[in-house]
Structure 1
Amino acid sequence: MTQLSSTLWQYYQQSIFLLTQPFSPHSSFAIVTAFNPMGENLSSCQNLLYDRRLQAEIDTMKVPYRSVIGASPDLQHMEKSWALFCDIQSGLELGREFNQLAIYYVDNGRLLLLPCLCSEDSIELGDFSAKAQLVSELPELEF
């Protein structure tokens, strides 16, 4: 693993999630982004294009989904993401397709960080509800 992805892995463990509605504590879903593939900071326009491609791909999966924002605890870094109600394998495949180092998966309220294109081990991060923040509307990310 490179130093960059090792550092990012540490950041991923600290992420919080902004959402406009609570999820059922018994639901299972993947949280996937298309932003900044392979951990490289892209321009807003590039991220928007990847995000549109990801949403189109999710549409073809015929699964329920919702928009969420994955963010650093201080909200200085935010990435548009999608919570999709699918199995772990489908979430991982989607993450790999969009060159993501990792995805999150929530299983019965427990938040997991799962590697896609890095060599780290999966890690449980505790209760998803502790990492979720309800907001009246998702912040506009600049594009």
Structure 2
Amino acid sequence: MDVGFNQLWQHYQNSCFLLTQCLNPPCSFAIITASNPLGTILSTSQNRLRDKQLQRDIHQSGCAYRALVGASLDLQHMEKSWAIYMDQQTAYQLAHKYQQNAFYFVEEGNIQLLPCHCDAQPVQMGPFEQFVRIVEELPEIHD
């Protein structure tokens, strides 16, 4: 991995998730975005189009899902994301389709960062609740 990607991988590990309410019961789920494929920053309109396509795929899968926002800890970078109640292999396939370097998977209350389009090692991050920030409403995402 190059230095730039190492920094990006660290950013993925130092993220938080904005939710309007807690996710329960404690089931396994993936957190996937369609934004900024392979770490390339796209315009807001391009990311919205990709998000609509991802939402259509999730809906067609028949899996339960909830909207959330993945963000840097300082909230300077945000990406519309989805908590999707699906198995890890199916989540990998979906994240791969949307050209994501990685996705998150929550199992038994613990979150892990899993590589997808990159050569990195999975990272056990700890209890998911430590990465959650409850907000009244999800923020609009702009360039």
Give TM class, smaller chain.
over 0.9
Aligned to 1:56: 56
> 1:25–1:108: 8 Å Cα contact kept in structure 2?
no
Aligned to 2:28: 28
CA positional deviation for 1:142: 2.5
Paired AA for residue 80 in structure 1: K
Aligned length: 143
Aligned to 1:40: 40
Aligned to 2:142: 142
**RMSD between superposed Cα atoms in Å:** 1.1
1:74 aligns with 2:61: no
1:38-97 deviation digits (Å, cap 9, x = unpaired): 000011111111111100111110000000000000000000000000000111111100
Aligned to 2:106: 106
What percent identity do the matched residue pairs reach? 46
- Distance in 2 between residues matched to 1:25 and 1:113, nearest whole Å: 21
- What is the TM-score with the length of structure 1 in the denominator? 0.96
Q: Does the residue aligned with 1:100 lie in a helix, a strand or coil?
A: coil
- What is the TM-score with the length of structure 2 in the denominator? 0.96
Aligned to 1:115: 115
Q: Does the residue aligned with 1:112 lie in a helix, a strand or coil?
A: strand
Runs of 5+ unmatched residues, structure 2: none
- Distance in 2 between residues matched to 1:42 and 1:142, nearest whole Å: 11
Which portions of structure 1, spanning 4 or more consecutive aligned residues, are displaced by more than 4 angstroms? none
